[in-house]
A and B are shown apart, each in its own frame.
Chain A
């Protein structure tokens, strides 16, 4: 029988200190496979996120790759949307949205991201699945690792690493396929004509995947992930976290299936250690909330199976809140504590940024024009005693069809554009045109005059741009 912990929250103990100093001497973790409600959810999310990741680069939209971050021509294609460096603000907004979503989910239900969607979890899950298929479950893997190297072990290990490397290479290839058209890339791989940098980045990403999911695993979460370190600032006593119900479970101890725990003076925890064995980060959830817990809920699934076998109610380990476990309110009332100031503030901020993001996208003009004065001459004489100034108009047609534009000027009496119009710009292209503007200088003061360029799309008159510049008169 072990002593009853007085609180569900972890208090550093001597054992913690020992663990800290052993830091580098990593105890290899052999997570036991687990099945159950949460495990099914995780598998579903692994499949869903990876179908998206591996599949999206192969989709076509407007005769081009649907999602392509074309760094070479500095354009990001996301389905119908083409983003230019000028649209940096949208990427920023997207990052803010991601951050606030993370804050919001974390405040409500802890590390949902870590447990179900983080690439580290997802790839570790995939790599462990391969490992289980090849080497067997926990006990067989431990036995295999302890056994001396023979032909069978060598075969199993090479097979495992071979499959891992193949999956890692495919992942690296897909990653690079987001930046280089993937069909072109596939052709280059097939004919062995990959460019040096493409080759390098495929191998780099593959190596990172293989290393992180095959070897590093929980160490990435424990020692490398900044989110794991600051997640606690988003937690409050009403946050749903994976908790062991110490009041119900303690004193823990093994007993026969037919034994009555009350007469033995025992709680519901049979001390089977399944919750520790299934944990991918190797912690004991019964010691309370720990920063290593990635919220994967494998221990809930594991414990529920044991409880069912013992004929005890489920949920000795369950999603609950600090306040609920300490008896401030019942589990059934957790929902009523979801809407609290912190959650409302995060939701409001998230809502504002989301509205601004989509509003901005809808109102975004598909035409951008920059007017620069010609660097050559300030002005020149034109036939009929007129004065001519030349400008360089830089057009960005952010639309995916070609457009024709009309340029007009105002600001001086009789000011007009003499360059042949309209000006045509191919789809999703930047193009510069020299534009000459003339005026009869009679009655005009010498020096600089502010003028206004108006540019409108012939096919869509509502698409307009207005730019200021200067006109020089002698």
Chain B
């Protein structure tokens, strides 16, 4: 389990960091809209929340990959 968590959280951390850097270099957080209204958070908050969002999205993808990696026998045995 610990190994699987590492597989999910670590690569997504790296990818999340890269996505954060590229996204916020191209887009000014002040220009973002949240639910139709300009974001009124501090830039630091936008950067931080943005990073965790990217990390979570990448982690979801990694988790899905891990899930699909289970072999036929695993699925048949454990349902």
Q: Which residues of A contact B (CB under 8 A)?
A: 23-24, 71-72, 74, 85, 88, 91, 195, 197-198, 200-201, 223-224, 226
Q: A71-B43, A72-B43, A72-B44 are in contact. Are A85 and B28 (CB under 8 A)?
A: yes
Chain A nearest CB, measured from B18 CB (Å): 10
B3 in the interface (beta carbon within 8 A): yes
CB of A85 within 8 A of CB of B43, answer: no
Q: Is the interface of A mostly helix, strand, loop or mixed?
A: helix
Residues of B within 8 A of A74 (CB): 28
How far is it, in angstroms, between the C-alpha of A24 and the C-alpha of B44 when the chains are bound? 38
Is A91's CB under 8 angstroms from B44's CB?
no
Q: When chains A and B are docked, how far (Å) is the Cα of A201 from the Cα of B51? A: 12
Please determine whether A197 and B44 come into contact, CB atoms closer than 8 angstroms. Answer: yes
Q: List B15-34 residues whose CB lies under 8 Å from chain A.
A: 24-26, 28
Q: A24-B2, A224-B6, A224-B10 given as contacts; is B25 within 8 A of A85 (CB)?
A: yes
Which of B2, B3, B6, B24 has the largest number of chain A CB atoms within 10 A? B6
**Among the interface residues B28, B42, B44, which one has the most CB atoms of the partner chain A within 10 A?**
B44
Question: Nearest-CB distance from A63 to chain B (Å)?
Answer: 23
Min CB distance B67 to A, Å, is 19
Q: Does B3 lie within 8 Å of A91, measured CB to CB? A: no
- CB-defined contacts of A198 to chain B, threshold 8 Å: 44
**Which among B26, B28, B44 is the interface contact of A195 at CB below 8 angstroms?**
B44
User: Quick check: B25 and A23 within 8 Å, CB to CB?
Assistant: no
Give min CB distance, A88 to chain B, whole Å.
5
B 42-69 binary contact with A (CB < 8 Å = 1; else 0): 1111011000000000000000000000
- Across chains A and B, which 9 residue pairs bring their CB atoms closest together, nearest first? A197-B44, A72-B43, A88-B25, A197-B48, A224-B10, A24-B3, A85-B25, A71-B47, A197-B45
* Residue among B3, B45, B48 making CB contact with A23, cutoff 8 Å: B3
Give Cα A91–Cα B10 distance, bound, in whole angstroms.
Answer: 24
Quick check: A91 and B25 within 8 Å, CB to CB?
Answer: yes
Residues of B within 8 A of A197 (CB): 42, 44-45, 48
B65 to chain A, nearest CB (A): 16
B3 to chain A, nearest CB (A): 6
How long is the Cα–Cα vector from A138 to B44 in the complex, in angstroms?
A: 44
Which chain A residue has the least Cβ–Cβ distance from B7?
A223
**Chain B 62-79 against A: per-residue CB contact (8 Å), 1 yes, 0 no?**
000000000000000000
* Contact of A223 with B6 in the complex, beta carbons under 8 Å: yes
Question: Apart from A23-B3, A200-B48, what are 10 other A-B pairs with CB-CB below 8 Å?
Answer: A24-B2, A24-B3, A72-B44, A85-B28, A88-B26, A91-B25, A195-B44, A197-B42, A197-B45, A201-B48
Residues in chain B near residue A72, CB distance under 8 A: 42-44
Give the CA-CA distance A85 to B48 in the complex, in Å. Answer: 18
Complex interface: chain B residues within 8 A of A200 (CB): 48
Which residues from A are CB-within-8-Å of B43?
A: 71-72
Q: How far is the CB of B14 from chain A (nearest CB, A)?
A: 8
Find chain B residues with CB under 8 A from A24 CB.
2-3
| Assembled-state Cα–Cα distance A71/B20 (Å) | 12
What are 24 pairs between A and B in contact, CB < 8 Å? A23-B3, A24-B2, A24-B3, A71-B24, A71-B47, A72-B42, A72-B43, A74-B28, A85-B26, A85-B28, A88-B26, A91-B25, A195-B44, A197-B42, A197-B44, A197-B48, A198-B44, A200-B48, A201-B48, A223-B3, A223-B6, A224-B6, A224-B10, A226-B14
B25 to chain A, nearest CB (A): 5
- List the A side residues contacting B25 at CB < 8 Å: 85, 88, 91
